[in-house]
Amino acid sequence: MEKIEISTETIQLDQLLKLAGAVPTGGAVKPLLEEKRILVNGVPETARRKKLVPGDVVSLQMEEGEKHYKVVLY
């Protein structure tokens, strides 16, 4: 599981995935959401701008396998 450090109280889902290098742009998140390939804390997510807080875990199902990102505060 890769830890993604943020310095704010929250971060939007699309911003987190871009920061993690999982997607090239925030807009690339929309088709992944439509295909239910993104889970937040084990639940399929539909909102691109879902606010994440430290402790949240994002799972991204890609062709090469599943990736997990944990939001942490630094």
The predicted-structure confidence for 21-34, as pLDDT tens digits, reads as follows: 999 998 899 999 99
What pTM did the predictor assign? 0.92
Sheet holding 2-6, edge to edge: 2-6, 65-73, 57-62, 38-40, 43-44
**Is the predicted pLDDT of residue 60 greater than 90, yes or no?**
yes
Residue 36's region, left for phi above 0, alpha for psi from -120 to 50, else beta, is: left
pLDDT at 24: 93
Residue 50's region, left for phi above 0, alpha for psi from -120 to 50, else beta, is: beta
Distance of alpha carbon 70 from its chain centroid, rounded? 9
Task: Delineate the domains of the chain, giving CATH numbers in brackets.
Answer: 2-73 (3.10.290.10)
Q: How many residues does the chain have?
A: 74
